[in-house]
Amino acid sequence: MRVQRSFLVYFLFSYCFFALPTQAQQRVGFDIDFFGYADNREYKSIYTEDKTIFGTIISPKLSFALDSNNRIVGGMHYNQNFGRHAENGDRLFPIAYYNYKSKNFDFALGHMPRYERLKDVPRIALADTFMYDRPNIEGMYLAFQKNAWKQALYIDWLSKQSPNQRERFLVGLTGKYTLGRFYVKDDALLYHNALSSNDTIDQHIQDNGMAMLRVGVDLSHKTFLDSLSIEAGGVIGFDRVRTEYDLRVARGFISSIFLGYRKFFIENTLYLGDPQNLPNGDSFYHRDSYNRLDLGWVPFRKGNLEGKFTASFHFAPDQTSNQQAFTLRYRFGSNIWKKGK
């Protein structure tokens, strides 16, 4: 029934916009995104889950450009993990959002693909499993870009309040300012876990958040390497459960280095400081020291097609874990109707 309802909503959505008066239609486009993933996680540390994530997401979309700045997008994500059975069925996520885009602004409201807008948010803020399990941002997104500065604000509504479900949402900020070879990155996140509408359940409002500022230098093409960047900065996290305990603050240092040469890359991320209690971040940061080493190979990259293999090693005080992931992304798009002027 869920699949039938989702298809019905999608086709009604599409019909309504195709039926708009022709003077309001400027262009109709079609896009299809394919994402295949094989992510084997041999995790041994506490707080982490040892598992294999293996499947595909295909995302067809229709876009209706009303003019050069305004458009409506409708479609769906079809997500299927391999090894389908009653407890691992297919999942449909509707794509339906309004988008205003100009030289400086990008505003979207609705169910919008996450990867397009939040792929650069660091794992300490949002774990990479969001790309598998929640391919959409459900809420609003606003970005401003001018010259070397870009700043984005987003709201992701995770759960609507009901008798059995708590109201939960994320508010995030991510940005970058570039000055020559140097740059500054900022990220902030607030997670609010409110109450359900059932007063008989003993619940407490939970607030978690973080703010991170990093300074870096991009030395790409200044050496024999194709890419070389180094950055470091500080992280401040906070955690509170109202009526249970007051605000707790966690401070830490984070740094990373990225090297790329032809089809190969190495990336190392180091964290030192207080354990971070961030429910939506990578669970490896729930400790006072953590180092992640990624060894990568991009066997093919052409146009909008990219296949990437990454071997990751997670060094934590209690255990050393490893991970092997292969991802493939392909995007195809074209105009299928355009109004002449």
Digitized pLDDT (tens) for each residue of the chain, 341 residues in all: 444 555 554 444 544 444 444 444 478 999 999 999 999 999 999 989 999 999 999 999 999 998 889 999 999 999 998 988 877 767 899 999 999 999 999 999 999 999 999 999 999 999 999 999 999 999 999 999 999 999 999 999 999 999 989 999 999 999 999 999 999 999 999 999 998 888 878 889 999 999 999 999 999 988 999 999 999 999 999 999 998 899 999 999 999 999 999 999 999 999 999 999 999 999 999 999 999 999 999 998 888 999 999 999 999 999 999 999 999 999 988 776 666 55
* E strand map for the chain: 27-42, 51-65, 70-81, 91-101, 105-113, 136-146, 149-159, 168-179, 182-193, 206-218, 227-241, 245-261, 264-273, 289-302, 305-315, 320-338
Burial call 111-144: b when 16+ CB within 10 Å, e when fewer: bbbbbebbeebbbbbbbebbbbebbbbbbbbebe
* Residue (of 290, 313, 308, 286) closest to 298 by Cα position: 308
Q: Which residue has the tokens 């001018």?
A: 146
* Residue (of 297, 289, 293, 285) closest to 269 by Cα position: 293
What is residue 89's predicted lDDT score, i.e. its pLDDT? 66
pTM of the model: 0.88
What architecture is the 2-338 domain classified under in CATH?
A: Beta Barrel (2.40)
Q: How far apart are CA 77 and CA 110, in angstroms?
A: 14
* Residue (of 82, 63, 60) closest to 71 by Cα position: 63
Q: What is the largest CA-CA distance in the chain?
A: 66
Let me know: does 280 contact 127? Beta carbons within 8 Å: yes
DSSP string, 122-142: -TTTS-TTHHHH--EEEEEEE
Backbone angles phi, psi at 184, to 5 degrees: -130, 130
The residues, any chain, with a CB within 8 Å of residue 60's CB and separated by 6 or more, are 30, 31, 32, 75, 76
End-to-end Cα separation, the chain, in angstroms = 44
Let me know: does 171 contact 193? Beta carbons within 8 Å: no
H-helix segments, the chain: 2-18, 115-118, 130-133
What is residue 17's predicted lDDT score, i.e. its pLDDT? 47
Question: 3-state DSSP call for residue 236?
Answer: strand
* Residue (of 228, 292, 288, 203) closest to 252 by Cα position: 288
Q: How far apart are CA 338 and CA 27, in angstroms?
A: 4
Q: How far apart are CA 308 and CA 142, in angstroms?
A: 30
**Domain residue limits, the chain:** 2-338
